[in-house]
Every structure is written in structure tokens, then in C-alpha cells.
Amino acid sequence: MDIREYCRPKSIEEAYELLCSEGAAIIGGGAFLNLGDRQLSKAVDIGDLDLSFIKEDESRVEIGAASTLRDIELNDITRQAFEGVLSKTAASIMGVQLRNVATLGGTIYGKYGFSDMITTLLALNAQVELYKAGAMSLESYLNREHEKDIILKVSIEKEVTKVFYEGVRKTGTDFSMLNAAAAMVDGEFRLCIGSRPGRAKLAKGAMNFLNGIDSAKGSAGIAAILASEELTFGTDARASDTYRKELCKTLVRHCVTEVLE
Amino acid sequence: MKEVNKSIPKKEGLGLSFGKPAYTDDLAPRDSLIVKVLRSPFAFARIKDIRTEAAEKLEGIKCVLTYRNVPRNIVTRAGQGYPEPSPHDKFIFDKYVRYIGDEVAAVAAENEAAALEALKLIEVDYEILEPVLDYEKAVDHPSVIHPEKEAHEMFPIGYKPERNIAAEYHMSFGDMEEALDKCEYVVTERYYTQAQNHTAMETHTSLAYVDLQGRLTIVSSTQTPFHARRIAAEALGLPIEQIRVIKPRIGGGYGGKQSLHGEFITALTALRTGRPAKLVYTREEVFEASYTRHPMRIDVTIGADRDANIKAIDMKVLSNTGAYGEHALTVFMVAGSKTLPLYNKAEAVSFGGTVVYTNTTPAGAFRGYGAIQGNFALESTIDILAENIGIDPMEFRTRNMIKEGESSPVFRIMGEGTEGVDMVMESCKLDYCMKRAMELSGWKDKSKRRRQNGKKIKGIGGAIAMQGSGIPCIDMGSAVLKLNDGGFFNLMIGATDIGTGSDTILAQIAAETLGVSTDKIAVYSSDTDLTPFDCGAYASSTTYVSGNAVQKAAMKMKAQIEAAAADRLGLLTEESEFDGEAIWAKDRSKSISLKELSTELYYSYKQKQLLVCGSYCGEISPPPFMAGFAEIEIDIETGKIDLVDYTAVVDCGVTINPKLALIQVEGGLVQGIGMTLYEDVKRTEEGRLLTNDFIKYKIPTRKEINKLTVEFAESYEPTGPHGAKSVGEIGIDTPPAAIANAIYNAVGVRFTKLPITPEDVLLALKKKAFDMD
Amino acid sequence: MNISFRINGTNKNVDIKPGELLYDVLKSIGISSVKKACETSSCGVCTVLLDGRPIASCSYLAAKAHGHEITTIEGVSREAEILGSLMNSEGAIQCGFCTPGFMLTVIAMKRELQNPDEQAIKNYLVSNLCRCSGYEGQLRAVKLYMEVPQ
């Protein structure tokens, strides 16, 4: 990796200013899966900005952008809140070596299709707080055009009554061939599917259906079909679109069943 | 047995665990030039022009090599005995590039950044040619991959480069038509296996420098230092006496380092610049531009009479050797020669086929070499046939399989590129292996009922396998033993320890033969200047071939010690006896300790150096055998297959070092399991490898391995050193068929193509449910 | 740029390029035990401990190590000797290339987890790949090591 200048700003303002120069990028945890030929004029290390925290109050859980996946896996708050789904999702990702380095902010900023955290956080209706653009839903953030900004934290309202995440991997260190998460948030059912291999998306048709039904009976199967039909699936080295569509039905069935129970 | 059949820890184990400098890259001098290779972006192209001036002018660049400024000698990179059964079809660099990753040019620079920058400055004009990517369409394809007039075979191997055929072979005995006519049950099936990658953790690395005497030294992660010396001399056009090859510790081989890789390039760089030069492959280069297992299409027909006696076996193979023909003929022949003898009562057997060139990464040697592919086809078909007959597949195997004291005509007919050798199985505990593996795995109980638990279904399946112990009448190993003052020995061996522990077990064999303890043996191996010849670590040869050489040397040493002591004690030679500590008169009237004798021989009494050499080239290749059972659990909603337990009972003769033998089997099993379930190889339509890193190419992690249950049969091979046969490869052979059979037994779907992925399983289950509707 | 960090208990100041990887910097200061095998954070071979926690040095910017403590196998010699002997007795050191990184991960695990069961052990060590041993010998050694008093 070719970096011309490495900066360690002491304030967010300073970090943002540095970031705005051409060819600059934020260095979060510094977890890179494949460095390739990347070139940066400035690498802006946000390690000194006190963004590594996990805290909660009565109404929400907040996770600083510099918290590592391993922090999320081990922290008491994330192990307990939301049935421990954040901890469980984090724990399923590759190995400790990566989780000790990869940060939540980095995962979200990259908007990676393979991300398991994004799938779970979307189902939980997480909010992302950016330095410049302010707070917005994770969904809006993912749909937004890329703009240089610094993610400060992610917060999740404690309106979640039930949540479930599942991913299917070939081996213990694989990315998910598909992942899914469902949650009941403030009485509304949310359902998200990721690693399609495109970026995680809410299955809104299936969500509408689930939010309109009176009885849970048989609804998981219908939601599975709706979700598999409304979303698009692609083929890559990991799995084919056909298989992903089938997996989508399976995972949605599991998630919906768990959440409606 | 005092020193063998004993789990002595590996001599270098602790040193390696502390990370002491041991591997090729660790040993490179600090001022080594960094070599990088420019690789072809096209599957098949002709270089019209190549301009290197800009790269040469870049600061820090010391040398740029292309086909224009290197010797043009055609060789095979296959590390095999001479003359090689592989076609000579490779130049150091050529005008043609034959796969994505093929070598176009190399640069040597003061540092990596400069080398990488220089690669970008080399301008190449390519004439893009139509590649041959589908090996089933390679024969007589309009594109001829090796049009060069120099390409040739060393002796008849069926080489027809104008038809893209790297090798061809056919054999048969008995009357196939007549035998099949007598069969009540006949099954024919077609199988496919993939281009598995070895994924040794140490990437292919070579280092070269010119020594004080002006000789070229190549330090390389190679499994075959002596072959590497011969082939490098040939390719570089250097007198062989000008080259020394050293194999330091190497970080995994499994066949992937049997063929040469960067040695020509680092050697030329060192010769041209006078500087040490090293080339360390990136992981991507290992995937794209080293070697793979030969992908094969195998058609098998097996016939049995109404009493379930196998009467006829026919096996036809199409093998893909990729862009170059390393090990093309031998790996393909082993698909038959190390599987067909398992069912030695067949009256008619035929085997044959073609190995083709394609514009993909070259295939080469890989643990199991052909046997694993052939075993998948043969042992899957045996289960299908047993079901058709209505007999338990293990009973069917037991009835038909080879037994101690028996032989097979295949042994005599099929060798490796040549005729084979006749041999009788003096040790074959396959019947015990089968019985014991059935007990351990619970086959009788588990195979008889469908075991479904919610959305998960369990199944069990098995297979048997055989391998060999070296290549008889071709591959030789040798050992030198030297007695030092104080009574300890140096054991110098050409044998190549690639992590297997062979340095330790060969010392154990020497110690056992001499009657001394293993810590009295200091081992030095794999240096073409300082150690005697050995073919290298391949074809399961080290314990048996090199081990026999060590045993012979040790017997000679013992005789020399006894003779020297007899002289010293005033006895006739036959009156003295060495017991490991001292040499005694047989009547126990007098003695001298080895410590005393050896010190006197150096300093005070009829001074001389005791030094002996033993060589061994096998006349036979006694096969190790095994039975393997896979218990699996299938998630019918995702298609995921979990391996619950893998049971293996192995007959490898006496285990010289039981713990190291155990790890050989366990490690082999897991590589076989990887090939069966996880190691998918995907390419684009243009022939670019997609699965070119550990993120996309998945080898099993420890989470995939729930339980391995491995035992050894009590067995003694009379021709082996202290009763041993080989154990390096046998473990890898059974998983493909055993797991495919287990899947069939669980869900009734037969998979004939590897790997068997969750995707394959789920889609097949859906199709089956649909067909049943 | 200049960074300073502690390596195996000693303070170290080095001049690095801003884009240099920790693996390369460790090599340049003469640490031979750290090996590289995948370049994609996937195999665990290049593991070092950063403030006691295992990370992949092949994919970690050296600049980020500024002010931190790096431990390689040379820095945990007592534990390495015990674990290495157990591994060697099981035959679980085959080619040895993955062994230092693997042992560092095991040592970190023992410091971090109380009485982990087999599944927890496998979860912790999952991205330490080994192509030689089939993992079972390593597991046998690790189970014995977890019983050794701290």
C-alpha cells in the first residue's frame, strides 16, 4: 500500500479537514483483507479520537466507530442487549486476528456486501452518526451517495423485543454465502438479507406482509418466498444466484419463525 | 524394538516452534536482490514485441530477463528420475505464453518496490490466440498449445503435441467383452475431479548465489534437490558440477514443490549480477502460477456375477495437465495402477486414456497423485454396484478385495511410465482394517437405518484404498554414516524432510539397526554437495526407500565397528559383537566401549575414519492399505455437510514413529476432506482463476474437523526397514468416495463431481423432491 | 516517518514508510519468527500480539503500532517452551511454518479464556490454518497446555 503521509489528528475537526484533501482516507482499525495497489495521499488514523466505546442508557445502546468487532463480541452490554445478537454476529466473522483489528466504523463505511454486522444492524434499525452529515438511519446511509465523512458512532434504540441472525458459510473462516436477520422493532417486523452477494437490503415486501398479518401461522414460508422474489441475487466465486435464492428462503424462514415465536 | 515403533519427538520440532531462521527466505542474505516475475494476462498469446529499456533504466534495477536474453533449452520442471516420463516442453522464458500467470519476464531489484515498479514499465505486445480452456475439447483443437519444434518426449509416452496430447497409455488383460457377458450386474458411471491447490503455508521460494569458488548455489523450498540440480543445469546450460542445491526446512510440500518453480530465474539473476537473488511467490502466484492436482474425467465400468464376484473393471481417463506436462503420464497412470489391484480377482481389466494440454495453470504432483482421483471413481462405483446387487457394500468389498499372499496382474503391467514389477502382498491387513474400521465407526448399526433429526440427516459411507512405497526400479535413496570420536554418528541423507519428520525417523532406523539411542545420531540432509543422492520426497518413498538405504548403511557401520574392535581386542572379526554401548568378545571375556574405540580410532590406534554408504532402489513397492469411513450430517435446508467423524484404519507396516505416522494420516485425511467438500476452483470464461487467495479458496479450518479416529493395523513388511511401509499418502485417498457414499446413504443422491458443495447438495435435493412430486 | 513501540519488552524506534506493513517492519528489525503466508488476514501464520491480542501482521499498518506493545514468540519464551514441547510430543509440529503464529494465538487464548471447551478452543483458533497436521494433533497438545498451571 502506498501512503504518502500518515496523520494522527487529535480532534475530529482536524481529522475531517485532513480527510477532505484529495486522495485522503480514514484508517480505522487498519484491517485490510487485500491491500492491492491502493494509493493514499493521506492516511488519517482516527485511533486517538476516543471513538472506541460501548455504552448504554435506558433507551439505547451506543457503539463508537472505532470499537473492534472483538470488543462488540466480548462487551457485556453487547452480549446482553438485543439477546446478544450483536455479540453473536461479530463472533461469527472470520477469526480473532481480524476481529481484534476490524472496527464497526470500517465495516459500515465500506458498505461491504459480505458484511454480517450490517445485516444485523439494519434489522435492528440502527442509526449512524456522522460528523458532517449528522445522524441518519443505517438504511439511508447505505443508500446515500459516497461522501467523505467520519462515522462517529452507531446507536440502536432499545425498542427491540426479538431478534435473530443467521449466516451460512462453507468453512469457519468464510464470508457468508448469504446472511439474514430479522427483528421486531417497536412493534414493526424488520427483515434484512445480505451477502447476496450485494449489500444487505431490507425485504420490504416480506416486511409489509409480516406487519399486516393477524396470525403467525404459515407466515414464515410466505415471507420466505416474498423475500426471495423481491430481492436480487448474484453469482460469484462463493455461490450462484440460484443457490442464494434458495438459501434466502431457508434463512428467512428461520429468522421469521424465531422472531414470531 | 528399542528405537523404532517409538514416538520420539522431531529433532528440529522445538527449534521450528520458536521460529528460528530455517526456511529459504530466512536464510537469504540481507543484500539479496528481490526478483519479481511479470506474468501473462492472457491464457494464450504470442509475444510480438517486448520492450524492457524503461524498466532497465529505473533506479535499483539490476537485471531484466526475457526470452531474448536467457538460454533456450527445453526441459521438464517435473522432479522425477531420469530420463523423465514427462515431456520436455518448457523454456525458461518463451515467445508463447500458455496460461494466465505464465512467465513473461523477470526483474531483479534492490528492493521490492523498485521491482514492482519495473514490472509496470515493461511493455509487451501480444498477439492474442484462442485459448483451450475446456479439457474435454482439447484434443485436435484448432489451437495447438505447444507448436515449438523442440518439444519432445524422452521415451515413448504417447506424446502428440500437434494434437494437444501430452501423454497416452492403454493396457488391458483378459477378454473384457466375454467377462462383461458373464456379469449379472454392470454399472457404468462418469466422474470429475478438480484442480486442487496444495496451499503449503510457505509459498514457493528460491534463493541463488555464487559462492567463493564461483559455483552456483541454489537454496530452494524443493522436495527434490538432486533432480533440481540436474534440471537447472540442463535449463541453464551449465555443467552440473557448477551447481549445488540446498534444501533447508520447507514449509509444506505435498507434491507442490516436487517440480521446479523460481530456481531458473534466481539462478540466472545471481549468475548475471554476482549478487544473491531471491524469489518469494505471493499467495496469488502460488494459486495461479505454480501447480495443481490434475483435474480428471474418469469413466468406470465394473461388472459382477450373480454371486457378487467382480469379473471386469474398465477405467478410462481424460486428464488435464494444463499448459505444461509435468507428471502428466505418471499421475494419470496411478489413477489405475494404485486402485485396480484392490480388486485383484477381476478376469478382465482395462485401463487407458489421454492427458491433454490446456491453457490453464499447469498440473503436477500432489499427494495421492492420481490414486485419489481413481479411488473416488472406483470406490463410488463399487457402492453403486453393491446396491444393485443387494449386498452390503463392505461385504462386497471384503469378498473381492486383495489379501495377504495374493498379487494382481496390474502390478506387473503398469509402472510409472514403464512396465511395472510383479509382486506378492507379503503384508496386507486390509481385511483387518475393514473389520476394525467397521467396528470403530459403528457401520453395521448406522448404515442400516435412516437417521433424521429434524432438518438434519446423518449418513455413513466407506471406501478402501492402497498406495505404494516408492517407485520400484527407478527411484533410489542413499545414506552415509560416519562414526565420530565420543561414539556418536553423523547420518547424511539425500532424503528430503518436508515437515514429515523423516530426518528423525531415518535417525531412528539407523539407531535401531546400530543398537544405539537416537540421540547419538546427528542428521544432515538434502544438500547435493554434502549428502549422497536421493530421489527426494515423493511417491511415498522416504520411509521405505531411504529407510532401507539407512538400514543398509547402519548394518555396514555395525560390521566396521565390530571389525575395528576385534582388531583392537585381538579377536577374529566374527568373535566380536556390538551391543550399542560396547563391543564384546562373544564369550564376554573382554570388551571396549564405543566411546573409547571411536576416540582411539581418531587419535591413537590404527587411526582411520569409519564411513559407510548404503543405497537402496526397491525391486517392489509394497502398498500400504486402509479402510476409511465417513459419518456425515446433512442440513437439508442449506445443503451444508458436516463431517461428524472420520474413521481410518491403516496398514503401513510397522510405524517407525507412531505419533508422526498418525499425523501423516490425519493430515492426509483433512486434505482429502478438503478436496471433497470445500476446495472449489472457479475460473472466468477467459481462464482467469477466481479462487486465487485464502478468502475465496477455502481449505478446511479446525472447525470443519469434528473428530478423526485413526488406528494402525499390526503389520510387518519383510522387505521394509524394521517392517515399515510408507504412510505419507495413503491417508488422502478415501475421503472423496467415502463421503460421496455417505451422502448417498443419507439422502439418496449420488454425487460424481468434486467438490461436493452445499450448493450442489441443496439444488440436488430440491431437484429430487421435484422429480418425486 | 518515525514510530516507537515496544517489542518483546524493549523500546524500539524505527523509521518506516507510512504505508509499510507491520510484518515487513518486524522482518527489517531482525525478527525471524514471524512468517507470511496469505497476505489477506486469512491464515494466522503472521500472527503477533498487539497489547496481548492476536492480530495479523501481514495486513496491519506498522504506523498503527506506534505506542503499542508487540509480542512475538521470542517474547514469550517460557510459555513457548512448554507449549512447543507438548506440540512436539504429539508430532503436531510438521513443516513448522504455521507454528510460531499458532502458538502465540494459543498463548493469548490461555491468558484470555477460563477453561474453554473444545468448541471455544476451535473458535478462538479458527483462522490459524494448518495444511499439514489435520489439526487433531494440535488440539491434543492445546488441551494439555490448557491444563498447565499459569
The C-alpha torsion from C87 through C92 and C96 to C102, rounded to 10°, is -60
> Phi and psi for B702 in degrees, rounded to 5?
-65, -15
CATH number of A162-261, picked from 3.40.50.150, 3.40.50.300, 3.40.50.920, 3.30.390.50? 3.30.390.50
Mutation for A interface: B36, B287, B637, most A CBs within 10 A: B637
Cis bond upstream, residue C54 (ω within 30) = no
Do B283 and C88 make contact, defined as CB atoms within 8 angstroms? no
Residue C127 has its nearest CB partner, among A2, A3, A173, at A173
Residue of A nearest to C54 (CA): A97
Q: Determine contact: A250 vs chain B, CB below 8 A.
A: yes
State pLDDT tens for residues A62-107.
999 999 999 999 999 999 999 999 999 999 999 999 999 999 999 9
pLDDT band at B374 (very low <50, low <70, confident <90, very high): very high
All residues of chain B having their beta carbon less than 8 Å from the beta carbon of residue A237 are 680, 682, 690-691, 696
Residues C57 and C99 in one domain: no
Q: Distance (Å, rounded) from C-alpha B62 to C-alpha B467?
A: 48
Interval B442-453 mean pLDDT: 87
CB–CB of C100/C72 below 8 Å? yes
pLDDT at residue B771, as a whole number = 77
Phi-psi region of B174 (alpha: psi -120 to 50; beta: other; left: phi over 0): left
DSSP codes, A24-36: EEEESS---S--T
Interval A182-187 mean pLDDT: 96
Q: Distance (Å, rounded) from C-alpha B455 to C-alpha A251?
A: 13
Residues C109 and C142 in one domain: yes
pLDDT at residue B581, as a whole number = 96
Q: Distance (Å, rounded) from C-alpha C19 to C-alpha C7?
A: 20
Element (H, E) at A71: helix A69-74
Q: Distance (Å, rounded) from C-alpha B323 to C-alpha B363?
A: 8
Report the share of chain B in percent with pLDDT over 90. Answer: 98
All residues of chain A having their beta carbon less than 8 Å from the beta carbon of residue C59 are 30-33, 35, 101
Which chains share 3+ C-beta pairs under 8 angstroms with B? A, C
AA identity, residue B367:
R
CATH number where C125 lies: 1.10.150.120
Q: Determine contact: A100 vs chain C, CB below 8 A.
A: yes
AA identity, residue B326:
E
Q: Distance (Å, rounded) from C-alpha A118 to C-alpha B53?
A: 50
**Sequence-distant (≥ 6) Cβ neighbours of residue B255 within 8 angstroms:** B198, B223, B291, B364, B365, B366, B367, B369, B538
Element (H, E) at B496: none
Q: Determine contact: A221 vs chain B, CB below 8 A.
A: no
AA identity, residue B709:
T
Residue C37 has its nearest CB partner, among B20, B283, B695, at B283
Do A170 and B678 make contact, defined as CB atoms within 8 angstroms? yes
Q: Distance (Å, rounded) from C-alpha B132 to C-alpha B686?
A: 10
Do A95 and C126 make contact, defined as CB atoms within 8 angstroms? yes
> Phi and psi for B200 in degrees, rounded to 5?
-60, 140
All residues of chain A having their beta carbon less than 8 Å from the beta carbon of residue B640 are 168
Q: CB-based burial of residue B751 (10 Å sphere; 0-12 exposed, 13-18 middle, 19+ buried)?
A: buried
Residues C13 and C68 in one domain: yes
Residues C23 and C40 in one domain: yes
Residue of B nearest to A178 (CA): B638
pLDDT at residue A33, as a whole number = 54
pLDDT band at B451 (very low <50, low <70, confident <90, very high): confident
| CA distance to B503, B659, C90, C135, per residue, from C94 (Å) | 12, 11, 10, 11
pLDDT at residue A36, as a whole number = 58
Residues C68 and C85 in one domain: no
pLDDT band at A217 (very low <50, low <70, confident <90, very high): confident
State pLDDT tens for residues B78-97.
999 999 999 999 999 999 99
Residue B759 has its nearest CB partner, among A173, A175, A239, at A239
**Sequence-distant (≥ 6) Cβ neighbours of residue B206 within 8 angstroms:** B24, B218, B219, B220, B221, B222, B261, B262, B263, B265, B266, B278, B279
Alpha helices in B347-487 (DSSP H): 371-389, 393-400, 409-413, 430-441, 443-446
Residue B499 has its nearest CB partner, among C32, C42, C94, at C94
Report the share of chain A in percent with pLDDT over 90. Answer: 90
Residues C49 and C105 in one domain: no
Instruction: Label residues B649-672 b or e (16+ Cβ within 10 Å = b).
Output: bbbbbbbbbbbbbbbbbbbbbbbb
CB–CB of C126/B703 below 8 Å? yes
Do A95 and C122 make contact, defined as CB atoms within 8 angstroms? no
Q: Determine contact: C65 vs chain A, CB below 8 A.
A: no
Interval B371-390 mean pLDDT: 98
**Sequence-distant (≥ 6) Cβ neighbours of residue A207 within 8 angstroms:** A188, A189, A190, A191
pLDDT at residue A261, as a whole number = 82
Q: Is C68 helix (H, G, I), strand (E, B) or coil?
A: coil
Beta strands in B484-606 (DSSP E): 489-493, 521-525, 576-578, 582-585, 591-593
CB–CB of B717/B74 below 8 Å? no
Task: Work out the angle at residue A231's Cα, subtended by the Cα atoms of residues A229 and A236, and round it to the nearest 5 degrees.
Answer: 110
Does B409 score more than 70 pLDDT? yes
Residue A3 has its nearest CB partner, among C18, C54, C125, at C18
All residues of chain C having their beta carbon less than 8 Å from the beta carbon of residue B200 are 95, 97, 131
Does A37 score more than 70 pLDDT? no
Residues C88 and C142 in one domain: yes
Give the closest residue to A71 by CA, choosing from A48, A45, A108, A96: A96
pLDDT at residue B773, as a whole number = 62
pLDDT mean across residues, chain A: 94
Does A34 score more than 60 pLDDT? no
State pLDDT tens for residues B671-689.
999 999 999 999 999 999 9
Residues 190-249 of B with CB under 8 A from C: 198-203, 249
pLDDT at residue B417, as a whole number = 83
All residues of chain A having their beta carbon less than 8 Å from the beta carbon of residue C47 are 97
pLDDT at residue A1, as a whole number = 76
CB atoms within 10 A of CB A70: 23
Q: Which CATH superfamily is domain B27-129+201-252+257-289 in?
A: Aldehyde oxidase/xanthine dehydrogenase, a/b hammerhead (3.90.1170.50)
Residues C87 and C68 in one domain: no
Query: Among residues C57, C74, C91, which one ends one of the domains?
Result: C74
Task: Work out the angle at residue C111's Cα, subtended by the Cα atoms of residues C106 and C113, and round it to the nearest 5 degrees.
Answer: 85
CATH number of B476-617, picked from 3.30.365.10, 3.40.50.300, 3.40.50.2000, 3.20.20.140? 3.30.365.10
**Sequence-distant (≥ 6) Cβ neighbours of residue B597 within 8 angstroms:** B487, B561, B564, B565, B568, B583
Do B9 and C88 make contact, defined as CB atoms within 8 angstroms? yes
CB–CB of A65/A103 below 8 Å? yes
Fold of B296-470+620-772: Aldehyde Oxidoreductase; domain 4 (3.30.365)
pLDDT band at B572 (very low <50, low <70, confident <90, very high): very high
CB–CB of A213/A189 below 8 Å? no
Which chains share 3+ C-beta pairs under 8 angstroms with A? B, C
Residues C10 and C50 in one domain: yes
Complex confidence, ipTM: 0.98
Q: Is A109 helix (H, G, I), strand (E, B) or coil?
A: helix
> Phi and psi for B65 in degrees, rounded to 5?
-115, 135
> What are the extents of the domains in chain A?
2-45, 162-261
Do A172 and B704 make contact, defined as CB atoms within 8 angstroms? yes
The C-alpha torsion from B21 through B25 and B29 to B33, rounded to 10°, is -170
Q: CB-based burial of residue A218 (10 Å sphere; 0-12 exposed, 13-18 middle, 19+ buried)?
A: exposed
Task: Count Cβ–Cβ pairs < 8 Å, chain A vs chain B.
Answer: 52
State pLDDT tens for residues B313-323.
999 999 999 99
**Sequence-distant (≥ 6) Cβ neighbours of residue B704 within 8 angstroms:** A171, A172, B642, B643, B673, B677, B678
State pLDDT tens for residues B249-299.
999 999 999 999 999 999 999 999 999 999 999 999 999 999 999 999 999
Domain count across chain C: 2
Residues C68 and C86 in one domain: no
Q: Determine contact: A238 vs chain B, CB below 8 A.
A: yes
Does A215 score more than 90 pLDDT? no
Give the closest residue to C145 by CA, choosing from C62, C123, C116, B743: C116
Residue of B nearest to C28 (CA): B30
Sheet holding B185-193, edge to edge: B165-173, B348-357, B310-322, B296-304, B185-193
Q: Distance (Å, rounded) from C-alpha B279 to C-alpha A4?
A: 27
All residues of chain B having their beta carbon less than 8 Å from the beta carbon of residue C129 are 201, 694, 699, 701
State pLDDT tens for residues C13-42.
999 999 999 999 999 999 989 999 998 999
Residue ranges, comma separated, of all CATH 3.30.365.10 domains in chain B are 296-470+620-772, 476-617
Residue of B nearest to A169 (CA): B640
| CA distance to A234, B552, B584, B611, per residue, from B574 (Å) | 81, 19, 11, 20
| CA distance to A103, A206, A219, A255, per residue, from A192 (Å) | 21, 10, 16, 10
Does B357 score more than 90 pLDDT? yes
CB atoms within 10 A of CB C11: 9
Q: Give the residues across from A192 on adjacent strands.
A: A181, A202
Can you say how many angstroms the Cα of residue B572 is from the centroid of all Cα atoms in its chain?
A: 48
Element (H, E) at A134: strand A134-137
Interval B588-614 mean pLDDT: 97
Report the share of chain A in percent with pLDDT over 70. Answer: 97
Do B763 and A171 make contact, defined as CB atoms within 8 angstroms? no
All residues of chain C having their beta carbon less than 8 Å from the beta carbon of residue B694 are 38, 40, 42-43, 129
CB atoms within 10 A of CB B289: 25
Do C72 and B19 make contact, defined as CB atoms within 8 angstroms? yes
pLDDT mean across residues, chain B: 97
pLDDT band at B383 (very low <50, low <70, confident <90, very high): very high
Which chains share 3+ C-beta pairs under 8 angstroms with C? A, B
Q: Determine contact: B769 vs chain A, CB below 8 A.
A: no
Q: Determine contact: C100 vs chain A, CB below 8 A.
A: no
Residue A171 has its nearest CB partner, among B639, B704, B759, at B704
pLDDT at residue B1, as a whole number = 74
Domain extent, residue C106, equals 76-147
Residue C88 has its nearest CB partner, among B13, B201, B284, at B13
> Phi and psi for B714 in degrees, rounded to 5?
-75, 120
Interval B533-545 mean pLDDT: 97
State pLDDT tens for residues B149-195.
999 999 999 999 999 999 999 999 999 999 999 999 999 999 999 99
Q: Distance (Å, rounded) from C-alpha A221 to C-alpha A250?
A: 9
CATH number where C42 lies: 3.10.20.30
C149 or A34: whose pLDDT is higher?
C149
pLDDT at residue B670, as a whole number = 98
Do B762 and A246 make contact, defined as CB atoms within 8 angstroms? yes
